[in-house]
Chains A and B, each alone.
Chain A
Amino acid sequence: MSEFRIPEAMARALIEHAQAEYPKECCGIIAGPPGEAREVFRLTNIDPDPVMRYNADPKELKHVTDQVYDRDWDIVSIYHSHTHSPAFPSATDVDRAFYPEAVYTLVSLQDRQHPDLRAFRILDGRIEELTVIREEDAA
């Protein structure tokens, strides 16, 4: 299984974002130099059914991707939360996986006291789970 390395503080930040938006789904982008999860950009979920779906605000998306482009960074991961189902891509997630270069990170708050964070590649309709390695910050 391939790996997805993410700083522990960043993993916690994604879970905090999911908790803050609950019961709506949160969404955002993790960007950085190729392959490196460096910075989180929260995006506003403007889907009309935000408990069941997400769709990032197009204006914010443009603003974030401009910064990514200007820094010569990549969209390393796209993250969102599931508030009533496991941290596994739904059929809608697969249908709308338009960023083949990105790791799709999911946070599940199905059990709010025990958030689950998992990561996947979604390519041509196929889901491949990645091993998430949460790296503690260097002392």
Chain B
Amino acid sequence: MAVEVRVPTILRKHTDGAKAIEGAGSTIREVLADVDAKHPGMRAAIVTDDGELHRFINMYLNDEDVRFLGSLETPVSDGDVISILPAVAGG
């Protein structure tokens, strides 16, 4: 499955500045592994050491927040778009 991954500015240092990259896999976790192989550092910026989505990273499959789907185990289909948006947060 080929999906588009939209990359926020703060992570574009891993993608040579690209705003969107392509990834392959049958779940979001597999897509992230594929993306990380091509763009080292991407997965560590998104996923914790425990393998969960980082607290201050929002991820969407098309329009849906993946936390309300199957998180990183959510299946993906050809042509899906994964968007990564860091939290707008502070104190």
A69 to B19, CA, bound (A): 10
Chain A: number of interface residues, binned into ranges: 20 to 34
| Number of interchain pairs (Cβ within 8 Å) | 70
With A58-B58, A62-B58 as known contacts, state yes or no: A27 contacts B88, CB within 8 Å. yes
Of A43, A58, A61, A89, which contacts B90 at CB under 8 A? A89
Given A58-B58, A59-B65, A62-B60: A98 and B91 within 8 A (CB)?
A: no
Which of A29, A55, A80, A93 is B87 in contact with, Cβ under 8 Å?
A55
B56, B67, B85, B90: the one contacting A80 at CB < 8 Å is B90
Residue contact A90 to B9, C-beta cutoff 8 Å: no
In the complex, whether A92 has a CB less than 8 A from a CB of chain B is: yes
Binding site for A on B (CB under 8 A): 6, 8-10, 56, 58, 60, 63, 65, 67, 83, 85-91
